[in-house]
Amino acid sequence: MTIVQTDSAVSPKVKAFLENFFRLSDEPSAHEEYSQQFIDGPGLHFQIGPMKAVDTRKDVHAWRVKAWQPPIISRNHQIDDVFVKGDEQLMLRGRVTYGKDDGSEGSATCGAWMVFAPGEELKIQSYTVWVTPEQK
């Protein structure tokens, strides 16, 4: 995982959260740690690409397990830009490269909107990602 550039308004706390979040996202066995980055209660919204949005941490965990099933064997996120509104709302732009079990590789550009729940500890309340597969 690489964060290439961030808005100068991104706090060190938020940058550290993002680095950890995308490290977990790229780690095939970190299902529980990944899902723990989200609130567990009312107001949770999680949607990546065309999937049906889910609203429980249990469903985030289930999606995560399914997303790491074959043919996907590796992922590497590169975050090119992070823009903030306060410290609670972020827009991200980047790409993900993924390896498949047949030895091939794919990639996609992505944009995301991430909203943190109120409180001292950073927990994601809403996470929506738009994905555009890159054509070879």
Which pTM was predicted?
A: 0.93
| Region 75-99 average pLDDT | 93
pLDDT exceeds 90 at position 27: yes
Please give the domain boundaries of the chain with CATH numbers for all domains: 3-133 (3.10.450.50)
Task: Work out the mean pLDDT of the chain and round it to a whole number.
Answer: 93
DSSP string, 80-132: EEEEEETTTEEEEEEEEEEEETTS-EEEEEEEEEEEEPSSSS--EEEEEEEEE
Give the per-residue pLDDT at 5.
67
- Range of weakest confidence among 7-16, 51-60, 105-114: 7-16
Give the per-residue pLDDT at 1.
63
